[in-house]
Structure 1
Amino acid sequence: MNKVFLYSSYFIFVLFGFNAYAEGENTVSIGKFSEWGLEEWESVEFNDETSYRLKDESDNPKLKVLHAISQASASGMFKKMKVNIQKTPFLNWRWKVNKPLASLPEETKQGDDYAARIYVVVSDGWFFWQTKALNYVWSSREDAPASWPNAYAPDNTLMIPLRNNSDGAGQWHIEKRNIQEDLKAWLGKSYDEVEAIAIMTDADDSGSNAEAEYGDIFFSER
């Protein structure tokens, strides 16, 4: 089963699956892994199954992180949750890659693997072609462009590399992205809400192995 079908199946799965809204004064929690928070996260398999489990953070064993291991596999963890990005436009998270991928041609289907990635899904309607996803990725290439269309879903998915192998293995990095601004820069319009957030560590197209850890994920007002 190829990724084109699986990408479209995932988006349909998201749109028909859940309609609850998340509201908060200053922050909206998406993944509170530090407190065993995997509620409402679901696994969707793309090609074999990446292992996802909560584990003690090595630097602070009182906290949990989400540990992902891919052995030539691709499955993701998805949370269907509407978030008002007019109120809380900033997505915050931390991540690290313990086992990076060798340099890959990431603009091609053969190289569409990432040791760590975060999806943000928005929609203009009920059909696949009306659904879009930003992908913030940990690139295997130090010379990666600022962004590029996904090889499997070029009209629906934009890849944005925030880190690469020069950032070092086993080191935590904190990210903050203005989702409103990134969507407007890509699609030329503003959105009121996102539909879902996803995490994926995958190495199926290259037949490689990858390992990453994800800390808490949340939206904030600023």
Structure 2
Amino acid sequence: MNPRLPLLFALLGSLAAAPALAGSAVVRFVPGELNGWQVKSFQGETTYTPGRIDGRSGLHAEAKGTASGLFREQRIDLTQTPVIAWDWRVDALPQNGPDERSKAGDDFAARVYVVISGGVAFWKTRTLVYVWAAREPAGAHWDNPFTGNAKMLVLRSGPKDLRHWQHETRNLAADLRTAFGEDIPAVDAVAIMTDMDNSGRAAEAWYGDIEFRAAP
């Protein structure tokens, strides 16, 4: 098994004591500030550095054969804020890597995770992972090659939008229903990761604010 999975499950098994449901219409996370974010390392350390590019603040991520992520625990009520929105930018994609649906190719320049904790039954933890892929086309989706509890969904693909900030808005509640076949009322954590541990290649990305919003 990929070592990142038991570590991820162990982390998320602790989320049963996460903060109470957010009651505001907008729940905002700001990765560039790192306040309230924690590091989880799987293979070496991806560097995460707050900075500015193109006149905008963000969190710069650079991986060279490494995999570590940042996560933030907060229970989000999807009946109030079912929409997730964020900005991201990829400056360097891995070149000529393995099949991204395979264990050897399970590396992405940018990932945004939302996590539903299984509580003490950590093996029931489920994760939806939005990715910027190098080769798989936008709209592609599959079970993570290491566990069916993690569902992959490609939002951006290839070099077309490289080195430019891109904005994403998703109906997270609907995406979770499609991924797992049921209505999920809340999520327990959000995470970001730029990782290249399986292929040993390099990638570079930026992350902006991540928001949970009420439906329009």
Q: If the length of structure 2 is used for normalisation, what is the TM-score?
A: 0.92
Structure 1 runs (4+) greater than 6 angstroms displaced: none
Instruction: Name the structure with the higher helix share.
Output: 1
Question: How far does residue 16 in structure 1 lie from its aligned partner after superposition?
Answer: 1.3
Q: Which of residues 139, 150, 159 is equivalent to 1:157?
A: 150
Partners of 1:79 and 1:216 in 2: CA distance: 13
SS, match of residue 185 in structure 1: helix
Q: Which of residues 52, 55, 59 is equivalent to 2:54?
A: 59
Is 1:19 the counterpart of 2:18 in the alignment? yes
Partners of 1:142 and 1:121 in 2: CA distance: 23
Partners of 2:82 and 2:139 in 1: CA distance: 24
1:83 equivalent in structure 2: 76
Partners of 1:38 and 1:198 in 2: CA distance: 12
CA contact (8 A) 1:119 1:133 kept: yes
Question: How far does residue 15 in structure 1 lie from its aligned partner after superposition?
Answer: 3.1
SS, match of residue 83 in structure 1: strand
Question: How far does residue 51 in structure 1 lie from its aligned partner after superposition?
Answer: 0.2
Q: CA offsets, 1:115-149, max 9 Å, x none?
A: 00001001344223211000000011054762011
Amino acid at match of 2:116: V
CA separation of 1:144/1:110 partners in 2, compared to 1, >3 Å: closer, same or farther? farther
CA contact (8 A) 1:12 1:127 kept: no
Identity of aligned residues (%): 36
Partners of 1:112 and 1:32 in 2: CA distance: 23
Q: Which runs of 5+ in 1 are unaligned?
A: none
Question: How far does residue 187 in structure 1 lie from its aligned partner after superposition?
Answer: 1.2
Q: Which of residues 69, 74, 80 is equivalent to 2:67?
A: 74
Question: How far does residue 40 in structure 1 lie from its aligned partner after superposition?
Answer: 1.4
CA RMSD of aligned residues (A): 1.7
Partners of 2:200 and 2:124 in 1: CA distance: 31
CA separation of 1:74/1:159 partners in 2, compared to 1, >3 Å: closer, same or farther? same
Amino acid at match of 2:42: F
2:43 equivalent in structure 1: 47
Question: How far does residue 53 in structure 1 lie from its aligned partner after superposition?
Answer: 0.9
Question: How far does residue 6 in structure 1 lie from its aligned partner after superposition?
Answer: 2.6
CA contact (8 A) 1:8 1:128 kept: no
Q: Which runs of 5+ in 2 are unaligned?
A: none
Number of residue pairs aligned between Structure 1 and Structure 2: 213
Q: If the length of structure 1 is used for normalisation, what is the TM-score?
A: 0.89
2:163 equivalent in structure 1: 170
